A and B are shown apart, each in its own frame.
Chain A
Amino acid sequence: MLRIRIFDEQACDLAMKGHLPGALHTSTNQEAAVVGATMALRDDDYMTGNHRSHGHPIGKGSDVNGLMAELLGRRTGICRGKGGSMHLADFSVGSLGESGIVGSAVPIAVGAALSASVRGTDQVALTFFGDGGANAGVVHEAMNLASVWKLPVIFYCENNGFAVTFSTARSTSVENISERGAGYSMPGVTVDGQDPLAVYEVTAEAVRRARCGEGPSLIEAKTYRTREHAEGLNLSYRDEDEIDAWKKRDPIEVFGSWLVDHDVLTSDELALMRAEVMAEIDAAVAFALESEFPTAEEAFEDLYSNPFPNRGV
């Protein structure tokens, strides 16, 4: 969680300084909803995500150097500067990519689960989408397909309350998106997305079901993004009181206190952990800033596995 938080903070700082081209969507205040889920996965399990892209691969264990360099459009970026902040992927840790098209990566995860099923492995696939994605037609097609084929998929909705400015209450036919699981004969569970242990528990159960052939599950983690949809926007569509109330439920502060209160960590150990992660992200920023930009010619690489000359060059 700390790694995601500090990564996002540093990314915002780099954007302010003009080092980060393009749009930037942070997961700030949603870290528990991400990490509680990814912690329930094995290294060889698959995962897809969305435009709010940094937390998912970090949660899956991706090296932050390659991610940060990608945000800055460098050659050493995990996607060699072709994807950027919204489209991270790290196949070495099972992160099959984040889609800038809302909902579009959800059937990709179903396909990864299909592959695991056909190949006879016990891998599972978890797909992150938001409350906005929950209303995309292809998500419903994917849920039905996974259900009729009984595939090992975890449909994981981070309901952060808003699709850009449009509230879930106004956009969505059900109070809890998890209710939609019933329509596809799969369990649907709503969980407090600010509580990493609760998130882990329900995700682990969904993973267990998937791994032993009991089929897909739908999880809705209720959370809230305390920053704007994307950095630089200043839109008025929600109350300051609402934002402040959710800030009081900052999962890093709340869970940090819980760890200390339950004698899992001392305050000093927590501070040391924070310092270590800060140093790790600082190093990633330095690595990214020191990395070269790709050449203009590199735009023509990576299109095909079996390439042929690009036309129009």
Chain B
Amino acid sequence: MNGATSEPIKPGDGSTHRATYLGAIREAQIEELRRDDSVIMMGEDLVASLFGTASGFLDEFGPSRIRDTPISEAGFCGAAIGAAMTGLRPIVDFAVSTFLYVAMDQIVNQAAKTRYMFGGQTSIPVVFRAAHFSGGSNAAHHSDRPHSTFMTVPGLKIIAPSTPYDIKGLLKTAIRDDDPVLCFESQTLWNAREQIPDDEYLIPLGQADVKRQGTDVTIVAIGQSVPHALAAADNLQEQGVSAEVIDPRSLVPFDWETVFNSVAKTSRLVVADSATLTCSAASEVVATVTETMFGDLVSAPIRVTTPDIHIPFSPAMEMGLYPDATKIAFAAERTLKG
């Protein structure tokens, strides 16, 4: 399920089509490029569209709005910010999430702070897209999950959708939002397929989705950990344990209400995230729930994350590091024993 009932889908005949995660990204971008002339795109090898999310865009929208960039992440990121301050809505395709580090100054000191430091004189409607690469022997320079790092920076909004339906609706909202939005996409989800509406729809930022309802334990899962959490819930069901799986979808702003309501019902919490443990999104969820509703918990919440280590090249070392269904189910069982 994707929680579509709570979202403002425009009336239509309810027809759907099958879309992959990558295809849904392309749909979101092409719809917004057609809708609003101020939307432009830039990124390395964008025109060639290495992963297909911008295929055909140059022909339809022309070289002024669809721009390949030199390998100058800080430079073109700053240019996107300056363009956003002066009337455009750039989508910057960083391709690989580690490349964001190269543009750290522009993202943190400029995109996140400019509106604030200048007393609200301007808005920065820019979207930075970046993919997490996991499980492909890409080693640490191409495999990282920096969403938690950016959650410590006020002024940014952050989404990490896990399904084709979600990424399309959230990315379209992000493009229309007047603030800088980081969109984290996991390469492990690229080929996920589902039916999505033919009609236009938007998903608000800051609205979690209950991917599976349950009563015994709440599993909050982020990005690529969502399918693993759903698989864990299936396994738990066979043992008579009813797990509720919540996908926050948006990390900043975060839908605390949905998580609180779930934990009020289950009294138990597991958080699964493929980022490293320390100061992670998972840590934030556990800390906030514990601070807010300690009395409702009957056992200690558990974080299931990648350990505090870089991603190694060899599959023999990499594959065991990420949260998977077994680890998540085991954690859920521990909360039940607690």
Q: Across the interface, name the chain A residue whose C-beta is closest to B111.
A: A108
A118 contacts across to B, CB distance below 8 A? 40, 64-65, 83, 88
A304 touches B (CB below 8 Å): yes
A116 contacts across to B, CB distance below 8 A? 86
A137 contacts across to B, CB distance below 8 A? 74
B123 touches A111 (CB 8 A): no
Q: Please tell me which one of the listed residues A89, A101, A119, A306 contacts residue B178 in the complex, with CB atoms under 8 A apart.
A: A306
CB proximity of B262 to chain A, nearest CB, Å? 19
A221 touches B (CB below 8 Å): no
B118 touches A145 (CB 8 A): no
B118 touches A79 (CB 8 A): yes
B106 touches A138 (CB 8 A): yes
B76 contacts across to A, CB distance below 8 A? 107, 141, 145
Indicate with 1 or 0, residue by residue over B157-184, a CB within 8 angstroms of chain A CB atoms.
1000000000000000000011100000
Within residues 87 to 141 of chain B, which ones have a CB less than 8 A from any CB in chain A?
87-88, 105-106, 109-110, 114-123, 125
A52 touches B (CB below 8 Å): no
Q: Please tell me which one of the listed residues A79, A97, A111, A119 contacts residue B80 in the complex, with CB atoms under 8 A apart.
A: A111
B116 touches A115 (CB 8 A): no
A91 touches B (CB below 8 Å): yes
Contact-residue bracket for chain A: 35 or more
Indicate with 1 or 0, residue by residue over A102-143, a CB within 8 angstroms of chain B CB atoms.
001111111111111111000001000000000001100110
Q: Please tell me which one of the listed residues B67, B70, B83, B106 contacts residue A144 in the complex, with CB atoms under 8 A apart.
A: B70
B197 touches A (CB below 8 Å): no
Residue contacts A-B, CB under 8 angstroms, 12 given: A91-B118, A91-B121, A96-B85, A104-B110, A110-B75, A111-B84, A114-B79, A115-B87, A141-B70, A145-B69, A302-B120, A305-B123
Closest 5 CB pairs of A and B: A111-B82, A107-B78, A141-B75, A80-B119, A305-B178
A interface residues, Cβ below 8 angstroms from B = 46, 48, 77-83, 87, 89-91, 96-97, 99-101, 104-119, 125, 137-138, 141-142, 144-145, 148-149, 301-306, 308, 310
B interface residues, Cβ below 8 angstroms from A = 38, 40, 64-65, 67, 69-70, 72, 74-88, 105-106, 109-110, 114-123, 125, 154-155, 157, 177-179, 206, 253
